[in-house]
Structure 1
Amino acid sequence: MPLSTFIPLLHEINDAYEESVTLFATKPPSKDLGFLDPKSPSLDITIGSRDLTIQQSPSLLSSPRDGETTVLWRVTPLFATYLSHPENPFFSHGVLSSRSTVLELGCGVAGVLGLTLGSSGRVRGYFLSDQEYVLKLLRRNLEENTPPPAAPRKGGARVKAGTVVRTLAMDWEKDRITREHPVLKEGVPFDAVIACDCIYNEALVEGFVEALEEACRELSAASRGMDGGSRLSEEAGGEEGAKPTLAIIAQELRSPEVFETWLERFHRSFHTYRIPDSLLTPEINSSSGYSVHVGILRD
């Protein structure tokens, strides 16, 4: 089982205060909230060998409807670049693979992780979620940065379809994450729920952790067999037994108070681990002001 070799590599968290002190001891001073470039309507970034042009909406930053999701945060391309390395532990230990299905919470307008893992074929299915008003620009970024499908082979031979990439409206405070959701009816378990920089004030903590709990409970292998009849379930072929859906949280370290509030709440619901700096790239380790935590939902 992949987790049997993956989890021993990680640093287990038993005390939120000690973890906060450890991480913030070497953290560089924060310059701002964490946006890559909050003034530009378009950003050119490179993830691995892929060049992406991301459209964003700086004018909505001052909007009363959580305008922070309309621009790209620094941690997201850093985490995407990290996941694009074949030697990163999530892929090298088989926790994620070309047969995995992933849900992202709070993806924002950029869709960088969906483009890195989804449209590149590194995973089998990638589902991006955020509030309804985010989706129009998100879908534009996905469409404009996704290569066209391969042409049919000569002689009419069938070409295997690419990764399934879906978008769905999801408001943590209003919507339930359940298999009854029309976009989440794929008949396979989700291997991971990913979130990048979704905790930047204490008011978000409770709803965010509850959404993670619900996603990891409702979308796990234990909650549903692989009998959905979808293309994903057919490709899965029943090769996996019941295993937990991991919560993977990448974030910039800004406020020790907010971080500790989140970690205390998260730890009540999840067995909590941190990817040690030795397994991270220098750009996304604690010395650079970032962290990546993994959670397994408690029984």
Structure 2
Amino acid sequence: MDSLPDLISQLGPEIEDPEEETFLLYSQPMASQNLGFIDPKARSIDVAINQRDFTIHQSPGILSSSRAGGTTGAVLWKINPLFAEWLSSPSNPLFLSRALSRSSSLIELGCGISPLNALALRPRIARYVLTDQPYVLKLLQQNIDANPPPFSSSSSSSSSSYPSSSSSSSSRRAKHAASPSPAHCADISFRVLDWETDQVSAALTGCPATTSFDALVACDCVFNYALIQPLVQTCADVCRLRTRHKAAGAGAPPCVAVIAQQLRNDDVFTCWLAEFRRHFRVWRFPEEMLPEGLRPAAGFVIHVGLLRDAGE
């Protein structure tokens, strides 16, 4: 299968020197994004992605709490809708190169309360697994329920590893109730995955017939030193599921890691990239493949990683 070589050939030279990559990214003028929240005080935020409207409920209370283990996943970050729109756009290089297709299974690390990537990709893939710590669970499910597939009936086609929230957007459901079901709609599920304490296994797929993933997504998960090693190790463990289950996925290409992030502290970025390169070969999506709002000049960057022992 030649989808990955086709994709890699469009990305330019492989990144060999983390310090050089840091210099190239941080030496250019960059828009100030502060911490990167959209509105940390709002209870809900409306966003439009590829001509579809979504409502995301968030928790300012959890964000400002002293909860052990972090609170940053309680609100929506600026990169989330930008990345979701790019990822699900018809011109996305992952789909144009056929690295992703309607049969693909994806996993997202550190999704927080936002299922935007899963919702936006729903018509284009087979399965999307959201993962994070348990505290995001209630709001995440509320956000899945509040944003049903277009032209769906009131019964959601998403599934979860926990009971669905009874609260949802009745106006959205009424709007779509009389419409026919979509021809294709991905299964969306959630699994608890703490990078420091939980073990990665094929059970994350939630499907006995699926033992690995075609792609891993992490969106704005790199923001402090303490998380770098466990995050990168979890990325490697997830991608390695593909090579560990060769019998079930014979002939399948390696799992692609897609890491999107806001450019904040340059030293944290360098440390992350150095650690990431220990496990992965790394490329950066060039500016011409990204909308202006996701380019380094806007304060964002997207990298692609392939496990060093996975081949192409």
Question: Which of 78, 83, 86 is the matching residue for 1:82?
Answer: 86
Deviation digits for residues 13-71 of structure 1, max 9, x if unmatched? 00000000001112425342111111111100001111001100011112233110000
Question: Which of 130, 145, 149 is the matching residue for 1:128?
Answer: 130
Report if aligned partners of 2:202, 2:211 keep a CA contact under 8 Å in 1.
no
- Aligned-residue offset at 1:186: 4.3
284-293 or 29-38, which deviates more: 29-38
User: Paired residue for 1:189?
Assistant: 212
User: Paired residue for 2:164?
Assistant: none
Which amino acid in the other structure matches residue 24 of structure 2?
T
38-47 or 81-90, which deviates more: 81-90
Counterparts in 2 of 1:164-203, with a 5 A limit? 164-181=187-204, 183=206, 185-203=208-226
Question: Which of 294, 297, 304 is the matching residue for 1:294?
Answer: 304
User: Paired residue for 1:98?
Assistant: 102
Three-state SS of the structure 1 residue aligned to 2:152 is coil
User: Paired residue for 2:152?
Assistant: 149
Q: Distance in 2 between matches of 1:168 and 1:197?
A: 19
User: Paired residue for 1:207?
Assistant: 230
Three-state SS of the structure 2 residue aligned to 1:94 is coil
User: Paired residue for 1:235?
Assistant: none
Three-state SS of the structure 2 residue aligned to 1:194 is strand
- Residues 146 and 25 from structure 1, CA distance in 2 versus in 1: closer, same or farther, beyond 3 angstroms? same
Corresponding position: 1:281 with 2:281: no
Q: Distance in 1 between matches of 2:233 and 2:207?
A: 18
User: Paired residue for 1:10?
Assistant: 11
Q: Distance in 1 between matches of 2:201 and 2:10?
A: 31
Three-state SS of the structure 1 residue aligned to 2:144 is helix
Which amino acid in the other structure matches residue 37 of structure 1?
D
Three-state SS of the structure 2 residue aligned to 1:266 is helix
Three-state SS of the structure 2 residue aligned to 1:40 is coil
Which amino acid in the other structure matches residue 82 of structure 1?
W
Gapped runs of 5+ residues in structure 2?
Answer: 155-180
Counterparts in 2 of 1:254-269, with a 5 A limit? 254-269=264-279
- Aligned-residue offset at 1:98: 1.2
Counterparts in 2 of 1:238-257, with a 5 A limit? 241-257=251-267
Report if aligned partners of 2:191, 2:204 keep a CA contact under 8 Å in 1.
no
Report if aligned partners of 2:129, 2:204 keep a CA contact under 8 Å in 1.
no
- Residues 166 and 244 from structure 1, CA distance in 2 versus in 1: closer, same or farther, beyond 3 angstroms? same
Three-state SS of the structure 2 residue aligned to 1:248 is strand
User: Paired residue for 1:229?
Assistant: none
User: Paired residue for 1:51?
Assistant: 53
Q: Distance in 1 between matches of 2:293 and 2:203?
A: 39
Three-state SS of the structure 2 residue aligned to 1:52 is strand
Corresponding position: 1:109 with 2:113: yes
Q: Distance in 2 between matches of 1:160 and 1:275?
A: 31
Q: Distance in 1 between matches of 2:10 and 2:115?
A: 29
What percent of counterpart residues are identical?
A: 40
Three-state SS of the structure 1 residue aligned to 2:114 is coil
Report if aligned partners of 1:38, 1:58 keep a CA contact under 8 Å in 2.
yes
- Aligned-residue offset at 1:225: 3.3
Deviation digits for residues 164-186 of structure 1, max 9, x if unmatched? 11111111111011014583644
User: Paired residue for 2:245?
Assistant: 223
244-253 or 171-180, which deviates more: 171-180
- Residues 17 and 182 from structure 1, CA distance in 2 versus in 1: closer, same or farther, beyond 3 angstroms? closer
Aligned residues: 278
Q: Distance in 2 between matches of 1:267 and 1:27?
A: 26
- Aligned-residue offset at 1:117: 0.8
- Aligned-residue offset at 1:223: 2.1
- Aligned-residue offset at 1:189: 3.4
- Residues 282 and 181 from structure 1, CA distance in 2 versus in 1: closer, same or farther, beyond 3 angstroms? closer
Q: Distance in 2 between matches of 1:96 and 1:182?
A: 17
Which amino acid in the other structure matches residue 275 of structure 1?
F
Corresponding position: 1:162 with 2:166: no
Corresponding position: 1:23 with 2:25: yes
Q: Distance in 2 between matches of 1:61 and 1:283?
A: 25
Gapped runs of 5+ residues in structure 1?
Answer: 152-157, 227-237
Q: Distance in 2 between matches of 1:50 and 1:15?
A: 40
- Aligned-residue offset at 1:95: 1.0
